[in-house]
Structure 1
Amino acid sequence: MTRGTALTLAFGLTVLCANQAFAADADPLGPLRGAESKLLKGWQGRDSGRWFVLQNDAEKESEQTLMLKPGVAGSAGRYLGASVAVDSKTPSASIGLLARNTSTGDLCLMEITAVADANLFCVVKGSNIKIASQQKVAKLGGNDFLQLVESSDGATFFLNGKQFGSVEPSTLAIDQVGVMAYNTGMFGVGDVKTMTLAQAKQAASQASSGGSSGGAQGGGAQAGGSQQGGGAQQGGGGAGRGKPAGDPPGVALNPMEQKFDGVGPIPQFDGTTIRRVAAYLGIAQSVFIHEFGHALINELDLPSTGPEEDAVDIYSALHLVDPTIYKADSADIDAIGRETAIYGALQWYYSGKINEAKGNGETPWQDEHTADLKRFRNFFCVIYGGNPKVFGNIAKGTGIDDRTLSRCTEEYTKQNRAWRTILAPYTRVGPWHPEGTLPANAPGAKITVRFEPSKYRVGNFFRAAFEEGLRGSVEDLAKTYALPRPLTVVYRDCDQLNAWYSRQDASITMCYNLLGYLVNMVSDIEMKTVDGWVVPQKTGAPGGGASNAGASNTGGSNTRAGDDANAAPSRSPSASAGSVDEAKDFGVPAGLVLYPAPYKGPTPTRNLRAQVVTTAELASFLKSSDDVLLIDTSKLDQTIPGAIQVPDAGRDGSLTDSFQDQLLEWLGSKTKGDKKLPVVFFGTGINDRSSYNAALRTGAGGYKAYWYRGGQEAWAAAGLPLNKVGR
Structure 2
Amino acid sequence: MIAETKYGKAVAFLRSGFFAFGLLLSAVWEGPVAAQDNEEAALSREEIVQLVVLANLEFTLLHEIGHALIDHFELPVFGREEDAADQIATTTMILRNNADVDAYAIDRLLAVSGQWLSEWKEERRVLGSAHAFWDSHSLSIQRFYNINCLLYGANPDELSFLLDSEGLPAERGFLCEDAYKLAYRSNLWLLENYGRAATDIVPFHGLTVEFQPTRDPRHEKVRGWIVSSGLVRDIAARATEFFPWRREVPVRFVNCPGSAEAFYNRNVAEITVCYELLELFLTSVEKDFAAELAVVCGNAGLRRLFAARLSCLPE
Contact 1:351 1:372 in 2 (8 A): yes
Aligned to 2:211: 451
Deviation at 1:284, TM superposition (A): 0.5
Aligned to 1:407: 175
Deviation at 1:358, TM superposition (A): 4.2
Deviation at 1:272, TM superposition (A): 5.6
Matches within 5 A, 1:286-305: 286-305=59-78
Change (3 A) 1:391 1:363: farther
Matches within 5 A, 1:335-354: 335=104, 337-354=105-122
Deviations 1:558-610 (A, max 9, x none): xxxxxxxxxxxxxxxxxxxxxxxxxxxxxxxxxxxxxxxxxxxxxxxxxxxxx
Change (3 A) 1:442 1:363: farther
Contact 1:384 1:408 in 2 (8 A): yes
Change (3 A) 1:399 1:450: closer
Distance in 2 between residues matched to 1:397 and 1:406, nearest whole Å = 12
Distance in 2 between residues matched to 1:396 and 1:318, nearest whole Å = 22
Change (3 A) 1:344 1:318: same
Deviation at 1:455, TM superposition (A): 1.7
Matches within 5 A, 1:522-537: 522-528=285-291
Distance in 2 between residues matched to 1:399 and 1:464, nearest whole Å = 32
Q: Which of the pair has the greater relative contact order for Cα pairs under 8 Å at 6+ separation?
A: 2
* Structure 2 residue ranges without an equivalent (≥5): 3-31, 296-315
Deviations 1:659-713 (A, max 9, x none): xxxxxxxxxxxxxxxxxxxxxxxxxxxxxxxxxxxxxxxxxxxxxxxxxxxxxxx
Letter in 1 for 2:205: A
Change (3 A) 1:269 1:340: farther
Deviations 1:505-537 (A, max 9, x none): 2210111101211231233124328xxxx9x99
Change (3 A) 1:279 1:406: same
Deviations 1:48-89 (A, max 9, x none): xxxxxxxxxxxxxxxxxxxxxxxxxxxxxxxxxxxxxxxxxx
Contact 1:426 1:481 in 2 (8 A): yes
1:324 partnered with 2:98: yes
Letter in 1 for 2:157: K
1:514 partnered with 2:277: yes
Matches within 5 A, 1:16-27: none
Contact 1:269 1:527 in 2 (8 A): no
Distance in 2 between residues matched to 1:394 and 1:525, nearest whole Å = 20
1:374 partnered with 2:137: no
Matches within 5 A, 1:201-280: 208-211=36-39, 271=45, 273=47, 275-280=48-53
Matches within 5 A, 1:476-495: 476-495=238-257
> SS in structure 2 opposite 1:449?
strand
Contact 1:458 1:512 in 2 (8 A): no
Deviations 1:417-436 (A, max 9, x none): 123314422213xxxxxxxx
1:503 partnered with 2:266: yes
Distance in 2 between residues matched to 1:346 and 1:395, nearest whole Å = 16
Deviation at 1:341, TM superposition (A): 1.1
1:439 partnered with 2:198: yes
Aligned to 2:14: none
> SS in structure 2 opposite 1:489?
strand
Distance in 2 between residues matched to 1:427 and 1:474, nearest whole Å = 15
1:421 partnered with 2:189: yes
Contact 1:348 1:373 in 2 (8 A): yes
Structure with greater helix percent:
2
1:284 partnered with 2:38: no
Contact 1:445 1:486 in 2 (8 A): yes
Deviations 1:533-562 (A, max 9, x none): x9x99xxxxxxxxxxxxxxxxxxxxxxxxx
Change (3 A) 1:440 1:458: farther
Deviation at 1:271, TM superposition (A): 1.3
> SS in structure 2 opposite 1:450?
strand
Deviation at 1:308, TM superposition (A): 0.4
Letter in 1 for 2:119: S
Letter in 2 for 1:466: I
Letter in 1 for 2:168: I
1:472 partnered with 2:234: yes
Deviation at 1:279, TM superposition (A): 0.3
Distance in 2 between residues matched to 1:424 and 1:361, nearest whole Å = 44
TM-score normalised to structure 1 length: 0.33
Change (3 A) 1:299 1:413: same
Change (3 A) 1:276 1:269: farther
Contact 1:320 1:344 in 2 (8 A): no
Q: How many residues align?
A: 260
Matches within 5 A, 1:119-134: none
Aligned to 2:19: none
Matches within 5 A, 1:612-627: none
Aligned to 1:7: none
Contact 1:321 1:387 in 2 (8 A): no
Distance in 2 between residues matched to 1:399 and 1:378, nearest whole Å = 10
Contact 2:262 2:277 in 1 (8 A): yes
Calculate percent identity across the aligned residue pairs.
22
Deviations 1:325-382 (A, max 9, x none): 4657xxxxx52x2211111111111211232344534532321111111121122211
Structure number with bigger Rg: 1
> SS in structure 1 opposite 2:159?
helix
Distance in 1 between residues matched to 2:77 and 2:248, nearest whole Å = 22
Letter in 1 for 2:250: T
Distance in 2 between residues matched to 1:453 and 1:293, nearest whole Å = 26
Letter in 1 for 2:243: Y
Matches within 5 A, 1:22-33: none
Change (3 A) 1:361 1:417: farther
Contact 1:362 1:371 in 2 (8 A): no
Change (3 A) 1:297 1:345: same
Contact 2:67 2:85 in 1 (8 A): yes
Distance in 1 between residues matched to 2:219 and 2:158, nearest whole Å = 31
Contact 1:450 1:491 in 2 (8 A): yes
Change (3 A) 1:327 1:414: closer
Structure with greater strand percent:
1
Contact 2:66 2:88 in 1 (8 A): yes
Contact 2:154 2:177 in 1 (8 A): yes
Deviations 1:381-416 (A, max 9, x none): 111111123334455653421121010111111122
Letter in 1 for 2:98: T
Please, what is the CA RMSD of the aligned residues? 3.0
Change (3 A) 1:426 1:454: same
Distance in 1 between residues matched to 2:111 and 2:58, nearest whole Å = 10
